Amino acid sequence: MYKTRSFSGPSHQKLSNFLETQSIDDNKNVNDYYQIIHNLFLLELMKQTICVSCKVMWNGDMSISKREGANFVGIGHQGLTKLCAILNLPTPIDEDHFSETIEYLLPIFESHKSLSMQNAIEETCKKSNGCKITVSGDGTWQTRGFSSLHGIVDILSTVPTAKVLDIERLSKKCSICTGLLSIKNSNPNKYMEIKNTHQCEINHFASSASMEVDGIYRLFSRSERLYNVQYTHYIGDGDAKVFPKLSNDPPYKDISIVKIEDVNHFSKKMLHRLQKIAESLKTTKIDGKLGIRGSGRMTKS
């Protein structure tokens, strides 16, 4: 059986003596009791510190990495809240502060992205001994089936340490435009104000399947303006529409782009065509044997 101590600890005594000297105890914060250093005072003190790297004063936020991760994997505040709950982690801050932090971080991400791609261009030009370089391009979509509302394409260098030179996002849907529909009838003036002033995310109006073609063409068209380089040789992924677009509507004056077939896609095409030939000749006698398959002929290996 536990016994009640007849004395109090040193921290309690110090705080008791301090409170006795105050005429009114207006401190209602539970974090400030039984502590030698008040937590709130410590936090306020920490907010006056300046980061040694970015020289920006700390804003008291302890979970900025959560928002960085959420932005990189493409989930919002609600998605992050669910993830933290499943992992038994503290929930993120309120949605307004979350959005403010994302707005603060995005220009920083954009700056690092631009610097990285500019350095990659300079490295590629140096190894290519000029501003006419060979690049590889490809695209991907958020969902399968060529019905995705969002897609992205990129151009990569072909030096031994390949790096991203440029990227382009293509979207057929704007989250702000969609959200505004909820106030279109109830508050038409606010609806028109935001609709006319916001930065719409929609930048592609054709089919989802054409995102790769249009995106790569945009990257070629702006290479001279952004980097003062020309993508004269293009390693494609077998897409039958990208190169005809670059050939029929050249992005550079008096320069014809040369296509280099990707080895992986070339191998797949060769395999499919050989299989088709073998299938068509399986009932035909050649050198006394049916077809072209078998030992000493075409095999799977």
Tokens of 73: 């994997």
CB burial readout 8-25, b (16+ within 10 A) else e: eeeeeeebeeeeeeeeee
Provide the 10 A C-beta neighbour count for residue 283.
Answer: 8
Q: Which residues contact 232 (CB under 8 A, 6 or more apart)?
A: 132, 133, 134, 252, 255, 257, 258
Residue ranges covered by each domain of the chain? 31-60, 64-128, 131-261, 264-301
Flag the least confident range among 79-83, 133-137, 266-270: 266-270
H-helix or E-strand containing 274?
Answer: helix 263-280
Q: Which residues contact 254 (CB under 8 A, 6 or more apart)?
A: none
CB of 246 within 8 A of CB of 220? Answer: yes
Q: Is the pTM of this model over 0.75?
A: no
H-helix or E-strand containing 79?
Answer: helix 77-86
Question: How is domain 131-261 classified at the architecture level of CATH?
Answer: 2-Layer Sandwich (3.30)
CB of 169 within 8 A of CB of 268? Answer: no
- Write out pLDDT tens, residues 133-168: 999 988 899 888 788 999 999 999 988 888 999 999
Cα gap 243→124, rounded to integer Å? 22
- Write out pLDDT tens, residues 204-261: 999 999 999 999 999 999 999 999 999 999 987 666 688 889 999 999 998 999 988 7
Residue whose structure tokens are 């896609």: 265
DSSP lists the bridge partners of residue 169 as: 152
